[in-house]
Structure 1
Amino acid sequence: MTRIRDNGTVFLRRTRFQVSRTLAGEVAYLLETPETLMVFDDRGTLLIEHHWPAPGTKYVGSGRTPGRRRTL
């Protein structure tokens, strides 16, 4: 269990994982497997799932570019 930081990340194994800035301050539950990290909210909803990065990686983002999303 951890709290989502003000910038929307959780910190584990010396790596920051982007979850969501809108969830800053919320409690998150972390589930580690040998292959992945899964982050759940207090209702059990899966927020993110990431494979463990290569050793030395300090940040894992959402894969989206920063800024506003375009609507089609």
Structure 2
Amino acid sequence: MGDIIRNIMMGLGCLSLLWLGSCAIMGATTVAVVGKAADKAAKTYEKEELKWHNDRDNNADPYHEHSDYNADYYENYE
């Protein structure tokens, strides 16, 4: 009778280890997928930001006065 109880307890222990292991694997997979999606979103954002800056600079006036440069400097760097 003692062997049966011991075997049942060992079986429950093994099931809990399997459950814990499967949770760890699912968690690691989730972290990997979220990290990959974040990297892709960051690359897309960088490309869009670069495109926006290029479009803004291409549409800018070709002639600037000294006051334009001063305004740009004081607006962006202070």
TM-score, structure 1 length as denominator?
0.18
More strand by share: 1
Asked which structure has the greater RCO (Cα within 8 Å, sep 6+), the reply is 1
Work out which of the two has the higher radius of gyration on C-alpha atoms and give 1 or 2. 2
More helix by share: 2
TM-score, structure 2 length as denominator?
0.18
